[in-house]
Structures are given as C-alpha cells and as structure tokens.
Amino acid sequence: MTHDIKGVLPVVLMPYTEDGARVDEDDFLAQTEHMFDVGCDGFVVGQVSEVLRLTHEERLRVAELSAKAARGRGVSIMSTGAETPNAAVEYSRHAQEAGVDALLVMHPATIPLDDAGMVAYYSKVIEAVDIPVIVHHAKSLAKQPLSIAAQVQLLEEYGEERVLFKPEAQPTPPRVSQLRDATGGRARIFEGDGGMMLLDCHRRGLTGTIPATEIAEIVIALWNLLEQGRRAEAERIGHPLSYLMCHMMNSTDYYLSIAKRFLKERGIVKSTHVRGPSRHVLDDETWTEVHHTYQNLLSLAKEFNR
C-alpha cells in the first residue's frame, strides 16, 4: 500500500479519561472519523500522541484501534520506536499483525547513536516486518541528527517501497532538498512541523505532511492549494498557520495543552488531560491569542475546502 501513503496524515492527540487513568477509545475513534470526514488520506500515532507515556498494554491496544479506525477509509500508521531495537521490533511486529498499513519508527531518545548505530537500529526493524517504515528523526529527542548519508544508505539497502522519511533536523527545508538530491528524487519525504514550513518544503518534493488532529482541515486546504499551484492563496493560510505553530511548538506539553483545548471546544474530545509529568499550564492571554488565530484559520479552511 506504499502508493497510498501520501498526502495529509495527521497525528492523533491521545485522548484520556478526565483523570488520565486510561485511553478514551471513543474519543480516539472520534478524532480519526473527523480526519477522514475532512478529507485526510489517513492518520498517524506519533510522538505528539504521547506514545512514550503509554503503558506497554496501551501501546498494543492503540495499534489495534488504529487498524480498526482506518479500515476501508485510508491508511493507519503506528509509532513503534523504542529505546532498544528488540523492543522496537516487538512493537512493530504486533502493529503489523494488528493490521496497520505502515510504521513510524523513531530512534532511541536516551542514548546518542552515530550513523552506524542508527542504520543498525533501523535495519533490524525494517527486516523484521513486511510493511513500510517511515524513518522518523525527532529533533526534540535526538541526541544528534541522522545524517543524509545514513538515510541514503537505508534507501539504497531496502528501496523506496519499504523506507520513507520524516526528517526534522533543522533547518528542515534545505535538508529536505539534500535528501531529495542525494537519492535522485527517490526518497518519499514527509514534512512534520505542523505545517509551519509547508509553504517552503512542498516545492522541494514532498510526498505528504504529518500535522495533528486539531489542524487537519486547515492543512488539507493548504496542501490542496499547493498541489494545485495556487501559491498566493496558499500563503493566506500558510503564514498565519506558521504564526500559530510558533506559539504552540515551544514544547510538546505546550502544544498538547493548546491543541486538546481546541478539540474539546469543538466537541471532538471530552477531556484536555495531558498525561504527566507535565510542566506547562496554559495562561489566559496566550489562549486568547491562539484561539483568535485558530478561528480565523478554520474560516479560511472552510472557504477553500468548499
């Protein structure tokens, strides 16, 4: 199904019960329904899904929920990276057996790996499964960037049907071009900064973009305009979206505190709970500013998605 892994694939924001004791499965499915209803090609369970804060049993269950939610409507992609290759292989095999369409695999976050270590880690996971693997470099968690040469090595070894890329090492746009050029345009690359750099990255040869649930229809409108070559109209969405992301992307918890409040206000989830330990409390003045920007973006999205 590699040909279908493209376009706008938002990340589910993990919904919890009000006390945070368990995943709210109904609200998980409500998010995926919302994404498909507004025209997304599929969805992802990623790092902003608080995947590292899930219990082992919850991670297994979420993979099963993902396969169920996407069946017949689009693609499901499950995050299966871990601190050891053995653990990553276990999560990856389970996700494949559950029926997800692809894997998003992040590198270990606690130990810095050089290129040889990164290639060995990813190779073990890729060889353990049959479905495509998106190699995810998470800039906020990586001890050192995954080099272009290492990514090229993985592509040459396993091919573009098996290996895709979500590079986040900064500055992102020129690194997208470097990966594109180093692979002769073969690398299938996804932008992953909430659409912040989509105006620039799209023209460099993206396969898709991975935002999050709360901006799904906003990014759908932006992506479609860019695909149609309507740059001036795309800027009407892309510029305020970048401003919104400047507010939200100060940290993962900061992002979640805002995004989940957006979703609750819209009736897509019931709780704004962020599983702790969390170090952020959203202040009223920030909320007023981001809410105003968000409402304007939703209005623009409605205009262009007609």
Give the annotated binding-site residues for pyruvate.
210
218: nearest Cα among 59, 91, 40, 87 = 40
Cα torsion through 135, 138, 144, 150, rounded to 10: 10
Environment class of 93 (CB within 10 Å of its CB; exposed 0-12, middle 13-18, buried 19+): middle
CB-based contacts of 88, cutoff 8 Å, min separation 6 = 80, 81, 82, 105, 121, 124, 125
How far apart CA 66 and CA 18 sit, in angstroms, is 22
The annotated binding site is made up of 210
Inter-CA distances, 197 with 2, 41, 139, Å = 24, 20, 15
